A and B are shown apart, each in its own frame.
Chain A
Amino acid sequence: MTRSSAASPTDGLTLNTLTIWWDAAADGPTNMAADEWLAAEAERRGSLLLRFYGWTETTISLGGFQKIDEARQMDAIRGVPLVRRPSGGGAIVHGSDLTYAAAVPKSHPWGASPQVFYDALHGAMVETLAEHGIRAWPHPADARSRHDESLFFCFDRRATGDLVMAGPASGTVSKIMGSAQRRLAGVVLQHGSLLLRGNTAVAGSARHPAVSDIVVGQSVPEETALSRAWGARIAHGLGVAVREEEAPFVRGCDLEREAFSSRFRDDRWTARR
């Protein structure tokens, strides 16, 4: 991806800052392109950027190497739009989840190895949920792994650091947050999803227990407030200030947005495997 490297009026303000972009809802290709834009901007600024965004319709994002035929043959998601992420991991049903993308230069302390970035952001979410009386914890490294490429959905897999909760049934544990990365030459893009509320647009194997299904009788935090509190926790962990900016991509120029989104609309990308 190429883009302008012209100096920004925000230059000089960003090195000791966690910048948060609040974005409008968009379709899958636009959201994936916006995340690539985020990564390029994080590399240019040399600092951590975090983007919160929504989806104009329920959408399945596939991991970078998942087989398209598997998605197309699955009855539980028939008719739901598909987009392929540049990051790894399993498929996610978006629409009622809290979706984020974070990008950090590889020279940053959180950019050097995959697990460090997962743990930093997921650990901050554990603390944020605890503020709301919700107990979640990272899937431990020494626990029996359920990471299995044959499992189509991200929320059926378990990897070290995924966030889990007890419930909804007695004696069960459910994964409520997972993340995946694309590690480029100079920057790391991390995608992630917190299943805050159940998605009624899908059923069967595509429907995974959400926080709202688990904490029955207890209020579930509002998404924007939770996102903002999480951002503050992340910034606290880094010892930096939070700066909020209006996201430039989804609300930006139509032609530029379309040019960047075209790769993610192309079947050569979506059906690459």
Chain B
Amino acid sequence: MAADLKFAKTHEWVRPEADGVLTVGVSSYAVEALTDLVFMQLPAVGRKVKAGESFGEIESVKAVSDLYAPVSGEIVEVNAALPGKLETLGKDPYGEGWVVRIKADNPAEMDGLLDRAAYDSLVGSQPH
């Protein structure tokens, strides 16, 4: 897992890209906990989201989970191939399994996210 990632408590990861856009995905912990993914609904490009707002949904065997925007901004790209290749989320969650790219309204919101150590501590403390 790359060290430059930040995490939301709702298990989305964020990676700042060279062009200033943030790439967002789902942590390997969350993907493993959901097991057997069957469907994913992505947002439309151009949609504005607020931090903490649901921007998509993912269905595993009998559980629907919301995906939450870790920062406010505009969805500028979605991984349109992902719903047809959900196994990618498990195989490469921090690479090919990215979900959306967001142009953040306020990059300082990143400061409120967890670094890798804090996220590992969070998921390590959760009951299994």
Could you tell me which A residues sit within 8 Å of B by CB distance? 63-65, 86-89, 109, 112-116, 118, 147, 149, 159-160, 178-185
B62 contacts A182, CB within 8 Å? no
B39 contacts A183, CB within 8 Å? no
Contacts of A88 in B (CB 8 A): 59-64
Interface residues on B, range: 20 to 34
A65 contacts B41, CB within 8 Å? yes
B128 contacts A149, CB within 8 Å? no
Contacts of A65 in B (CB 8 A): 39, 41, 57, 59, 64
Residues of chain B in range 1-58 having any CB-CB distance to chain A below 8 Å: 10, 33-36, 38-39, 41, 52, 57
B126 at the interface (CB under 8 A from A): yes
Q: How far is the CA of A114 from the CA of B37 in the complex (A)?
A: 12
Contacts of B60 in A (CB 8 A): 88, 114
- Chain B nearest CB from A60 CB (Å) reads 17
Contacts of B98 in A (CB 8 A): none
**Nearest neighbor of A147 in chain B, beta-carbon distance:** B61
Contacts of A86 in B (CB 8 A): 64
If over half of A's interface residues share one DSSP class (helix, strand or loop), that class is named, otherwise mixed; here it is loop
Question: Max chain A CB contacts within 10 Å: which of B36, B63, B66, B127?
Answer: B63
- Chain B nearest CB from A122 CB (Å) reads 12
- Chain B nearest CB from A56 CB (Å) reads 26
Query: Taking A64-B57, A185-B10, A185-B52 as contacts, is the C-beta distance between A114 and B62 under 8 angstroms?
Result: yes
Contacts of B10 in A (CB 8 A): 185
Q: How far is the CA of A87 from the CA of B57 in the complex (A)?
A: 11
B64 contacts A181, CB within 8 Å? yes
Contacts of A182 in B (CB 8 A): 63-65
